[in-house]
């Protein structure tokens, strides 16, 4: 029996893939390093952390300085494991392994990653999960019965973690724009893709969103930028109420689609709207894909991206607290991540 866990289920650790000077982060490396330090130290408040990096000594020093600046005890280091490997970039959500429960045991599925439909070089990142498994990096904490996760090579199929939202109970939420894009799995029809997902993950159904996008998004509308399961009956989603905003029509149609979805009990989902983030632009005046839907659920908390808008950040925090009343909402400034068209969930992968 196979099952794709929900993100709110107990986690063993989170993976970060650290920026370095050979990535697109080179012009802003100091700023993104500071963001990654803040994010790393937020994660280890709640669970262990695996960091893939080009230079473990340098990253360890950054973390040590961050602990000192924030008054965090050095015992924090015991929850961080650093592994040196070459990488193209930092988007662990999409080049990371996907945990699937098979007959009650964790298996790391390693799907193909081709830079979001051949948009960017990804040869090194596509090899990471296999190399990490071979290096024993996923054996940070054994399951209760002493087992460690198995590995399954799924590189015949292109699939990114950011395109998947699971309720842990047989329902997958995704977008047609991403999974049906011509440069991911061109030989697959929609029916074939749905069959593959059901077979791989033990799904009962796939809920397809056909509308919704963010300007500046390189992923072809990953679901984790638009709508997220918060529990089996609740979906948080980005709402745009401004008729002059470029996203208004598409996100209004997406909201209508979400309203038509039904839970396994046959009732509408509890929908919690998240505010449309204030517009953020790059130096050339292009809008960047800032979204509050790109939060990360960890053990006991939700890490939420912020974008320097006091009003909208607070509104999003309040809405997520409604969605997760028993978890702490921890805000992390992700303005620098948006410079490379991603955010908090995009740079993390839970196991």
| Nearest-angstrom CA–CA distance, 222 and 225 | 6
Res. 143: pLDDT tops 90: no
Q: Which two tokens stand for residue 351?
A: 């196991």
pLDDT tens sequence across 321-332:
999 999 999 999
- Look up the domain containing 253 and give its range: 2-350
| Nearest-angstrom CA–CA distance, 351 and 318 | 27
Instruction: Please report which confidence band the pLDDT of residue 139 belongs to, taking 50, 70 and 90 as the band edges.
Output: confident
Q: Residue 142: its pLDDT value, please?
A: 47
Instruction: Please report which confidence band the pLDDT of residue 147 belongs to, taking 50, 70 and 90 as the band edges.
Output: low
Res. 164: pLDDT tops 70: yes
Phi, psi of 291 (to 5 degrees): -150, 135
Q: Give the CA-trace dihedral at 111, 114, 117, 118, to 10 degrees.
A: -170
Burial of 305 (0-12, 13-18, 19+ CB in 10 A): buried
Res. 141: pLDDT tops 80: no
Mean pLDDT over 214-225 rounds to: 97
| Nearest-angstrom CA–CA distance, 89 and 114 | 12
Average pLDDT, the chain: 95
Return the exposure string of 241-274: e unless at least 16 CB atoms fall within 10 Å of the residue's CB, then b. eeeeeebeebbeebbebbeebebeeeeebeebbb
Q: Residue 148: its pLDDT value, please?
A: 79
| Nearest-angstrom CA–CA distance, 99 and 160 | 12
pLDDT tens sequence across 36-93:
999 999 999 999 999 999 999 999 999 999 998 888 876 666 789 999 999 999 999 9
**Residue 346 a catalytic site member:** yes
% of residues, the chain, pLDDT over 70: 96
Catalytic residue among 35, 230, 240, 346: 346
Q: Residue 8: its pLDDT value, please?
A: 98
Q: Is the overall model pTM greater than 0.75, yes or no?
A: yes
Q: Residue 74: its pLDDT value, please?
A: 65
Number of domains in the chain: 1
Phi, psi of 26 (to 5 degrees): -50, -45
Mean pLDDT over 283-303 rounds to: 97
Scan for tokens 């990360």, then name that residue: 296
Instruction: Please report which confidence band the pLDDT of residue 156 belongs to, taking 50, 70 and 90 as the band edges.
Output: very high
Q: Residue 30: its pLDDT value, please?
A: 97
Q: Give the CA-trace dihedral at 216, 222, 225, 229, to 10 degrees.
A: 170
- CATH no. for residue 231? 3.75.10.10
């Amino acid at each position: 029996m196979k099952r794709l866990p929900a993100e709110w289920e107990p986690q063993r650790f989170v993976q970060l893939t650290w920026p370095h000077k050979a990535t697109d982060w080179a012009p802003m490396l100091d700023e993104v390093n500071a963001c990654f330090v803040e994010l790393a130290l937020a994660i280890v408040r709640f669970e262990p952390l695996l960091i893939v990096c080009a230079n473990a000594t340098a990253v360890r020093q950054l973390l040590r300085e961050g602990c000192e600046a924030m008054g965090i005890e050095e015992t924090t280091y015991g929850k961080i494991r650093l592994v040196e490997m070459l990488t193209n970039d930092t988007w662990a959500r999409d080049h990371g392994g996907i945990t699937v429960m098979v007959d009650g045991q964790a298996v790391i599925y390693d799907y193909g990653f081709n830079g979001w439909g051949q948009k960017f070089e990804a040869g090194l990142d596509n090899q990471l999960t296999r190399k990490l498994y071979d290096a024993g990096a996923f054996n940070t904490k054994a399951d209760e019965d002493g087992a460690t996760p198995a590995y399954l090579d799924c590189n015949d199929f292109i699939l990114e973690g950011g395109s998947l939202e699971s309720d842990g109970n047989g329902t997958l939420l995704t977008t047609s724009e991403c999974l049906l894009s011509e440069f991911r799995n061109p030989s697959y029809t929609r029916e074939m893709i749905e069959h593959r997902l059901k077979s791989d993950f033990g799904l009962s159904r796939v809920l397809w969103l056909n509308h919704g996008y963010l300007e500046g998004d390189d992923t072809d509308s990953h679901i984790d930028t638009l709508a997220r399961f918060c529990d089996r009956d609740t979906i948080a989603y980005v709402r745009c109420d401004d008729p002059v905003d470029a996203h208004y029509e598409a996100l209004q149609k997406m909201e209508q689609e979400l309203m038509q979805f039904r839970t396994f009990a046959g009732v509408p989902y509890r929908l919690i709207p998240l505010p449309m983030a204030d517009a953020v632009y790059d130096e050339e005046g292009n809008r960047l894909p800032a979204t509050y839907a790109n939060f990360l659920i960890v053990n006991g908390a939700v890490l939420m991206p912020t974008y320097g808008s006091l009003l909208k950040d607070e509104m999003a925090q309040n809405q997520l607290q409604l969605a997760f009343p028993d978890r702490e909402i921890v805000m992390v400034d992700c303005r620098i991540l948006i410079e490379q068209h991603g955010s908090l969930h995009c740079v993390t992968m839970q196991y």
